[in-house]
Amino acid sequence: MTMALTKVIWELAKQPEYIEPLRAEMHDVFGPEVGTRAIRINKDSLSRLQKLDSFIREVQQWCPSTFGKSKAPIQVNA
């Protein structure tokens, strides 16, 4: 979770044009006071954050944080 969140924040810093659409979506879902008060997050509100979900999924595709099985032998030179 920590690595995935770090990558999302890194990509937002590299591509700030995505910040405002994601912020607008948060305002639509949680109200205009988001960021100034505690918000209640539940399954319904998370399901309505479609742009954020898509952005996180794209970041995970660009730079996956999991290891996969090699399809060919790998030789490590020590």
User: Which pLDDT score, from 0 to 100, does residue 72 have?
Assistant: 79
pLDDT in the model for residue 36: 81
In this predicted structure, what is the pLDDT of residue 2?
A: 81
Length of the chain: 78
Q: Where are the alpha helices (DSSP H) in 1-78?
A: 2-14, 19-30, 43-47, 50-62
Say what the pLDDT of residue 1 is: 63
Residue extents of the structural domains in the chain = 2-62
Helix (H) or strand (E) holding 5: helix 2-14
> Mean pLDDT for each consecutive 10-residue tract of the chain (78 residues)?
86 96 94 82 93 93 70 76
How does DSSP classify residue 18? G
Question: Full-prediction pTM beyond 0.75?
Answer: no
